[in-house]
Amino acid sequence: MYKGNDFIYEAFSNLQELLKTEISVDSNREPYDAVIQINGTTFYCHAKKDARNSNSGIIFNQVNQFKNFINKDRNLLFVGEYIAKDVAESLIANDINFLDVAGNCYINTNHLKIIIEGRKQKKPQNINQARAFQEAGLKLILLLISQEHALEFSYRALAEKAGIALGSVSQIMKELEESNFILKTNDKRIIKNREELIERWVLAYNEVLKPRLFRKTYKAINLDYLRKIVSNNKTKFLFFGGEPAAEIMTSFLKPLDYIIYSDDELSIIGKELMLVPDNNGNIKIYNTCWTDSLNNENLNIAPSLVVYADLIGSGNNRNIETAKMILENEL
């Protein structure tokens, strides 16, 4: 069983108690997190500690990859310590078997049907309490992921380029080393477990930092005009995020909802882009969370990791598909 997935024992134990039937568990069947049998039906398990709205896109990407990996005749079971209600509903809508630690489950096969719901889950207080996954740490990790040569910088240079206090850098770097995300040798540092680090960053960005960056929601008087102004902006004070940035990066997505990052005064942004305040509008303005060191020289778009997080956080299937392309080609 993979490190950090001990909760699946508790999940199986609670389900066994609820069903009053024996569940056999084999946790040594790599590359699966576990293989279990319920009343003669075998399930191959993929486990994830938390399945929240903010990381649902990553969850579904991983579940679909796991589904493609195992034999199509084998039953998949997604096991989470905590599964948010909306995520559970999406799993059911996609006919994906799941189980949480509280015993809530949806199991639907040709030979076995079990649905248990309404059991209270204990929502984690904050899975990213470490300093590395709070605001300063997220800004530093964004720099390290976006510019891997940044690992060669001094702590003073890292603080300047990430826009954080010098005193925070050493503490965050130490945490990243202790968490096995950075390996320090005699002469250099390298990023380890990159995929997991990106996943942790996306979850924390959408839950911790992005809500603090939000400013206001608008609608555009002329959307084509807005697209032209942002795309041709030379001052580097306007950046597309989310769907419009993904359209530029992949030529795959037609944006419906617009994210714009800017630190300019809202009155200036509204006038320049011809925006009208509207709580139901499709244009959201956010402050930036990076310095000029990460600005793209040719395109007025946010850093790739931010765009990826925007798409994943939307929970939209077409955005998640596009996010996968960005992960594979840009990150």
pLDDT in tens, 295-308: 776 679 999 999 99
Q: What is the mean pLDDT of the chain?
A: 89
> Distance between CA 282 and CA 293 in Å, rounded?
29
> Distance between CA 179 and CA 192 in Å, rounded?
10
Architecture of domain 7-116: 3-Layer(aba) Sandwich (3.40)
**Given pLDDT bands bounded at 50, 70 and 90, which one contains residue 49?**
confident
The CATH class of the 131-208 domain is mainly alpha
Q: Which two tokens stand for residue 186?
A: 């005699």
What is residue 120's predicted lDDT score, i.e. its pLDDT? 86
Is pLDDT larger for residue 64 or for residue 289? 289
What is residue 57's predicted lDDT score, i.e. its pLDDT? 84
**Given pLDDT bands bounded at 50, 70 and 90, which one contains residue 236?**
low
- Span(s) in the chain for CATH 3.40.1350: 7-116
pTM, two decimal places = 0.81
What is residue 131's predicted lDDT score, i.e. its pLDDT? 86
Most confident of 80-84, 125-129, 273-277: 273-277
Query: Which segments of the chain does DSSP mark as H helices, in order?
Result: 7-19, 56-69, 85-93, 135-146, 155-162, 166-178, 194-204, 210-213, 223-231, 242-250, 266-273, 304-314, 317-330
- Span(s) in the chain for CATH 3.30.460: 210-330
The CATH class of the 210-330 domain is alpha beta
> Distance between CA 217 and CA 285 in Å, rounded?
6
For 48, residues 6+ apart whose C-beta sits below 8 A from its C-beta are 59, 62, 78, 79, 80
Q: What would the mean pLDDT of 31-49 be, rounded to a whole number?
A: 90
Sign of the dihedral through C-alpha 89, 3, 310, 217: positive
DSSP-derived letter for residue 301 is B
Question: Do 306 and 291 touch, CB atoms closer than 8 A?
Answer: no
